[in-house]
């Protein structure tokens, strides 16, 4: 395990934005049948999701979260030395969407900007990347934006995935802060299981697959240009590799589950979260649940859970928070940090999108 330990860095603020459009999972009854929908709800704990309209992209959600964060925290945008944008739903095939966000947010040219292609582990991995950059540079602040429109990557007739995911954008600002409590983290990866969650067609490897649905081994309808998940493999990974990593992390840091005030665990589905609670012997009341109202929002589910739990709470004390993300790659990671509820903004709902982003090709 690459183990990280950062000093003199603090979380200045966290903000998330979700689309205004709410989908009630029961609205899928005509498509998938009452029996399937209620089974899904019982197992996953998901009752509602927020999904984008056609014109709204992941970067729009990320922008709204970040722009509000910078405004409300009165941040001098010239002091942001890095912007890392995590998404698998970029605005364009090229350039990286982080450059569009740099432009929209008014960040200076003295800013390192790049995209990271990760899903559910994206927040914890990019957060540690940003902290690493801060530790080895003179930058004052770094901004991590994580955003996804997963609902658009799911084949609407795939009953295993269509109801599962919600859309969201999140922004986390870190800053140099003398004597801040240490931030610790770890990252794990397994390329041997790259096929476990995949969109097999539409990239450079296979751009000529038929646009025809097929029934997979899981008896669900899929399309090669939409996400296909091997549920059994991902399930096994989530309740085996992930708790094993957490135990290794506790061994390395000498921490115990009882040391933490709050657990923000990736909201894959509630059954998996319950398994993790049990295997890691976590206090249930410290594990916040957001997926009932937002679904599985991928890498954003950790900041979303924090904003749902702490947003608007007027409290400047520091909470010891354990964050754990896991998913596509396969990739998983942990961040152990201290967060002041004052730094966390309430969840924002928005339908805003970037009209100037729709480009007149003849005018380039």
Partner 1 sequence: MGENLRKYNEVFMNIFGAAESELNESFTFESVHKWDSLAHMALISRLEDIFDVMFETEDVLHYGSYLNGIKILERYGVDMKA
> Which residues are tagged catalytic?
120, 266, 296
* By the rule CB under 8 A, 59 interacts with partner 1: no
85 vs 165 by CB, closer to partner 1: 165
- Give min distance, CB of 267 to partner 1, in A: 16
Choosing from 274, 286, 289, 320, the residue that interacts with partner 1 (CB under 8 A) is 274
* By the rule CB under 8 A, 267 interacts with partner 1: no
For residues 38-57, which are near partner 1 according to CB under 8 A? 39-40, 42-43
Cβ(194)–Cβ(329) under 8 Å?
yes
149 vs 160 by CB, closer to partner 1: 160
* By the rule CB under 8 A, 193 interacts with partner 1: no
Residue span binding partner 1 (CB under 8 A) among the ranges 6-14, 19-27, 150-158, 233-241: 233-241
* By the rule CB under 8 A, 232 interacts with partner 1: yes
Place of tokens 């091997």: 230
* By the rule CB under 8 A, 251 interacts with partner 1: no
Choosing from 52, 87, 275, 305, the residue that interacts with partner 1 (CB under 8 A) is 275
* By the rule CB under 8 A, 209 interacts with partner 1: no
275 vs 305 by CB, closer to partner 1: 275
- Give min distance, CB of 123 to partner 1, in A: 25
- Give min distance, CB of 236 to partner 1, in A: 6
135 burial class (0-12, 13-18, 19+ CB within 10 angstroms)? middle
* By the rule CB under 8 A, 271 interacts with partner 1: yes
Choosing from 69, 220, 306, 337, the residue that interacts with partner 1 (CB under 8 A) is 220
Of 136, 135, 137, 115, residue with least CA distance to 126:
115
12 vs 193 by CB, closer to partner 1: 193
Choosing from 22, 29, 36, 73, the residue that interacts with partner 1 (CB under 8 A) is 36
* By the rule CB under 8 A, 283 interacts with partner 1: no
* By the rule CB under 8 A, 177 interacts with partner 1: no
| Cα separation values, 295 from 38, 40, 190, 304, Å | 15, 12, 25, 11
* By the rule CB under 8 A, 219 interacts with partner 1: yes
CA pair distance 244, 7, nearest whole angstrom: 26
- Give min distance, CB of 251 to partner 1, in A: 21
16 vs 154 by CB, closer to partner 1: 154
250 vs 271 by CB, closer to partner 1: 271
Sign of the CA dihedral with 66 first, then 70, 76, and 79 last:
negative
Interface residues toward partner 1, by CB under 8 A: 35-36, 39-40, 42-43, 159-160, 218-220, 231-232, 235-236, 239-240, 271, 274-275, 278
């Amino acid at each position: 395990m690459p183990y990280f330990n950062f000093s003199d860095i603090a979380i200045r603020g966290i903000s998330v934005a979700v689309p205004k459009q709410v989908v009630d999972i029961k609205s899928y009854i005509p498509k998938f049948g009452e029996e399937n929908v209620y089974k899904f709800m019982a197992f996953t704990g998901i009752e509602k999701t927020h999904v984008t309209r056609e014109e709204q992209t992941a970067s729009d959600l990320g922008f709204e979260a970040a722009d509000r964060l910078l405004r409300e925290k009165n941040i001098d945008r010239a002091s942001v030395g890095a912007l890392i944008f995590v998404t698998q739903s970029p605005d364009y095939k090229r350039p990286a969407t982080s450059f569009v966000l740099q432009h929209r947010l008014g960040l200076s040219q003295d800013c390192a900007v790049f995209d990271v292609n990760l899903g559910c582990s994206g927040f914890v991995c990019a957060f540690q990347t940003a902290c690493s950059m801060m530790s080895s540079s003179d930058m004052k602040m770094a901004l991590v934006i994580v955003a996804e429109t997963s609902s658009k990557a799911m084949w609407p007739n795939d009953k295993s995935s269509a109801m599962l995911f919600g859309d969201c954008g999140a922004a986390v600002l870190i800053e140099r802060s003398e004597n801040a409590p240490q931030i610790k983290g770890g990252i794990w990866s397994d390329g041997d299981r790259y096929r476990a969650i995949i969109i097999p067609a539409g990239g450079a490897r296979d751009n000529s697959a038929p646009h025809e649905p097929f029934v997979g081994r899981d008896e669900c309808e899929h399309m090669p240009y939409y996400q296909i998940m091997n549920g059994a493999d991902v399930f096994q990974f989530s309740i085996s590799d992930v708790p094993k990593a957490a135990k290794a992390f506790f061994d390395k840091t000498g921490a115990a589950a009882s040391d933490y005030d709050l657990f923000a665990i990736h909201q894959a589905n509630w059954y998996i979260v319950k398994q993790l609670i049990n295997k890691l012997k976590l206090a249930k009341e410290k594990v916040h649940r957001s997926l009932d109202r937002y679904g599985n929002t991928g890498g954003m589910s950790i900041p979303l859970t924090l904003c749902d739990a702490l947003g608007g709470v007027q409290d400047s004390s520091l909470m010891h928070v354990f964050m754990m993300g896991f998913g596509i790659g396969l990739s998983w990671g942990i961040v152990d940090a201290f967060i002041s509820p004052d730094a966390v903004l309430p969840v924002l709902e928005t339908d805003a999108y970037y009209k100037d982003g729709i480009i007149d090709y003849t005018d380039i």
